[in-house]
Amino acid sequence: MQAKSLNTIDVHVGSQIRLRRKSMHLTQAGLASQIGITFQQLQKYEKGVNRVGASRLVAIATALDVNVASFFEGYTDPTSAALVDTEHLALRQFIISSDGFALNQAFFRIASLPTRQRILALVKCLADPTIENPSDDDLLVSDQD
């Protein structure tokens, strides 16, 4: 038996639901309870395994205090002539991951811009083992980075 392939729009909508839910500090169980489904069903929606019906999508949007259209923002039809930017997709996957989401929230709670820049420089150094002794240029973050 062949595994069911995921529909790109279902995956996109699901990731948007998850991102909004997490930004509101709601658990899957909490949101599921609000809209009258099990958290397992919500997991399937968020992963794009199950398609979200129109009435359920409206209920989710209402519970998350957003417009239904917001779940479709940023979607690019993979059958269009436009190429899918793999870096953008990787960034999106990272942001909706538990670690990525937590890191993003914690990072932006740091009020000091110089501190954020130093943390970014540290992460770049950790990610690139060829940088043994970072120079002042490595510690400076420009708008082009």
pLDDT digits (tens, 9 = 90+) for 51-89: 999 999 999 999 999 999 999 988 876 665 344 556 666
Whether this prediction's pTM lies above 0.85 is answered by: no
Report d(CA 21, CA 33) in Å as an integer.
13
Q: How far apart are the first and last CA of the chain?
A: 47
Contacts of 145 (CB under 8 A, 6+ apart): 120
Q: Which domains does the chain have, with CATH numbers?
A: 8-83 (1.10.260.40), 110-139 (no CATH)
User: What residues of the chain score a pLDDT lower than 70?
Assistant: 1-4, 77-89, 132-145
pLDDT of residue 51: 94
- Identify the DSSP state of 119: H
